[in-house]
A and B are shown apart, each in its own frame.
Chain A
Amino acid sequence: MLNQRWRILRYETHPAKMNMAIDEAIAEMLNFNEASPTIRFYGWDPSAVSIGCFQNLEDEVDTEKCAALGIDIVRRRTGGGAVFHDKEGEITYSVICPETMADKDINAAYRQICGWIVNGLKMVDITAEFRPINDITVGGRKISGSAQTRRSGIFTQHGTILYTVDPDVMFTVLKVDKEKSDSKGTDKLSDLVTSVSKQSKASKNEVLAALVYAFAEGKDWYLGALSQDESARAEAIANERYGNDAWTRSR
């Protein structure tokens, strides 16, 4: 990546529609040269399910269970699979920058940023490996997944790192296709995933600090906050798109 000054945002939690809208608002402001390349780590409150932009909602999510459990549902603007974002158990990241600062090759960009996550996990004594296309695994089980988009010259990659996982809730709200779980060599859904807390004694804050360190390594950066314009734009995008049922149910 080019040597431009990065802004790292303080960890915050938001509802699902705001989390997705903040990424998009930052990308828009970057496109107008009104924001710095940004790395953000964040959480979800309430817990939520996000689905990839090409997924069929009803195929992937038990919407009635989500409603009963107070779990939000949001459709991302990135592809990839459905993700359960546990309020307590997950760290999510976004990397948003001009496309010129990211690897031109999509797979190489996944490899690069997933490499930062692998390095962060190594700092808390977890040996993880990048599994193309967009996953990170520990002992064959998924601990992190990412998705990437490039729009109007702006690169966005966001993804999750599982800190703790409750497979019962996760696989109650997510409908995992049997063909997919079979391809991973298991019929036990809980065998598909692992989490930091199963692999390390590090606290969530320690993991967060390790990830910030790994993402920032070799970069010129500063600790910043969203501008008022970014926050206002994010509110508008959240209401227009991510909180809009027509968008959520568009496939």
Chain B
Amino acid sequence: MPARRAQRKVPWGKLVRVDAVCEGRRFTSIQITGDFFVHPEEALANIERDLEEKALSGNEPDLERLIGAVIAVNDALLIGFGAKDIADLLREIKC
């Protein structure tokens, strides 16, 4: 299944791209790339893994809060983008 992509330049922030693979209505692979910052850097791969494990749907009503919780659990600081941007891009990809 090929990855689908959505991207945005966050106003006053950075360029964020989300590539996601859908199986049925669920995201089974999520990769977030761009010129943003994440501290610590290793946290991004863990965030992607945790989001994949949740097998989220683009129609999830609470997507932003769920992503925010995953970011918080990984003790990550995102600079130049945020949970809302990831949620919006996943909604745009829409499995």
Contacts and interface: CB of A to CB of B under 8 A. Distances in A.
Interface of A: 52-56, 59, 77-82, 106-107, 132-134, 147-151, 177, 179-180, 182-183, 251
A52 B12 CA distance: 18
B35 to A, nearest CB: 4
Interface string B26-40: 000001111111111
Interface string B1-16: 0000001110111110
A186 B16 CA distance: 20
Given A53-B41, A54-B41, A81-B15, 6 more contacts: A56-B17, A79-B35, A82-B35, A107-B79, A149-B41, A179-B9
A150 B40 contact: yes
A59 B17 contact: yes
A77 B39 CA distance: 11
A180 B9 contact: yes
A71 B18 CA distance: 28
A134 B41 CA distance: 17
A150 B31 contact: no
A141 B13 CA distance: 17
Interface of B: 7-9, 11-15, 17, 31-41, 44, 77, 79-80
Given A56-B17, A179-B8, A79 B33 contact: no
A79 B9 contact: no
Given A59-B17, A179-B9, A251 B39 contact: no
B35 A81 contact: yes
A52 B44 CA distance: 13
Contacts of B44: 54
Contact of B33 (A59, A80, A148, A150): A59
